[in-house]
Structure 1
Amino acid sequence: MAALAASLLCSIQFAFAQDDAPDNIKAAYSEGGRYYTEDDIPTYNVGEDGSVDWLTYSGFRRYHSECHVCHGPEGEGSTYAPALKKSAIDMDYYDFIDVVTNGRRQVNASQNSVMPAFGTNPNVMCYLDDIYVYLKARGTGAVARGRPSKKEAKSDAIREAENLCLGD
Structure 2
Amino acid sequence: MILPNGMDLTPDYEENGRWYNADGIPVPKIAEDGMVDYATFSGYRRYHAECHVCHGPDGEGSTYAPALKNSVLRIDYYDYQEIVASGKQNTGSGSANQVMPAFGTNPNVWCYVDDIYVYLLAHGTDMIPRGRPANKAEKSEAFAEQEDSCMSM
- Give your verdict on TM over 0.5: yes
Asked if residue 78 in structure 1 is aligned to residue 59 in structure 2, the reply is: no
Aligned to 2:17: 33
Aligned to 1:152: 137
Aligned to 1:17: none
Question: Any stretches of 5+ residues in structure 1 without a counterpart?
Answer: 1-19
User: What is the percent sequence identity of the aligned residues?
Assistant: 54
TM-score normalised according to structure 1 size: 0.85
Aligned to 2:45: 61
**Amino acid corresponding to residue 31 of structure 1 in structure 2:** E
The whole-number CA distance in structure 1 between the counterparts of 2:52 and 2:147 is 22
**Amino acid corresponding to residue 113 of structure 1 in structure 2:** Q
Which has the larger displacement, 25-34 or 86-95?
25-34
TM-score normalised according to structure 2 size: 0.92
Q: How does 1:1-168 map to 2 (within 5 A)?
A: 20-22=1-3, 23-111=7-95, 112-167=97-152
Contact 1:24/1:41 (<8 A) preserved:
no
* Equivalenced residues, count: 149
Contact 2:16/2:146 (<8 A) preserved:
no
Larger helix proportion of the pair: 1
The whole-number CA distance in structure 1 between the counterparts of 2:28 and 2:111 is 17
Query: Which of 1 and 2 has greater Rg?
Result: 1
Contact 1:44/1:136 (<8 A) preserved:
yes
Contact 1:88/1:133 (<8 A) preserved:
no
Question: Any stretches of 5+ residues in structure 2 without a counterpart?
Answer: none
Which has the larger displacement, 103-112 or 142-151?
103-112
Contact 1:53/1:151 (<8 A) preserved:
yes
**Amino acid corresponding to residue 73 of structure 1 in structure 2:** P
The whole-number CA distance in structure 2 between the counterparts of 1:34 and 1:56 is 9
**Amino acid corresponding to residue 152 of structure 1 in structure 2:** A
